[in-house]
Amino acid sequence: MRKPQGYLVGTSLDGLVSEADTFTCSHCQKIVIVKPMCDPADIGGRCGMCDSLICQNCVGHECIPWEEKMKQLEASYEARRSYGLI
């Protein structure tokens, strides 16, 4: 299941932001607004590990796709629960 990219509903600035002008960072799920004609390096980049668009904050960081992070969280939750800590 892959989420469709580029949805910004109801929060557009004067209707100038269309769905084609955004992408969701694959690492932190931040919605990044892509300004027309801007330098791709200004808005982030593409992660070579998961081959997805990522925001500026995530450029140069370790590749941990959101789904992977959620899985890790779930796994640690399950582990703690199985130890009776929750």
Please pick, from the candidates 8, 31, 34, 63, the single residue that binds Zn ion as defined by CB under 5 A.
Answer: 63
Our CB check for Zn ion shows the closer of 67 and 78 to be 67
Q: What distance in Å separates the CA atoms of residue 13 and residue 63, rounded to the nearest whole number?
A: 31
The stretch near Zn ion (CB under 5 A) out of 5-13, 35-43, 62-70, 78-86 is 62-70
Contact 24, 15 (CB under 8 A): no
The reply to whether 31 sits near Zn ion by the rule CB under 5 A is no
Whose CA is closest to 26, among 60, 8, 42, 2?
A: 2
Residues that bind Zn ion (CB under 5 A): 25, 27-28, 30, 47, 49-50, 55, 57-58, 63
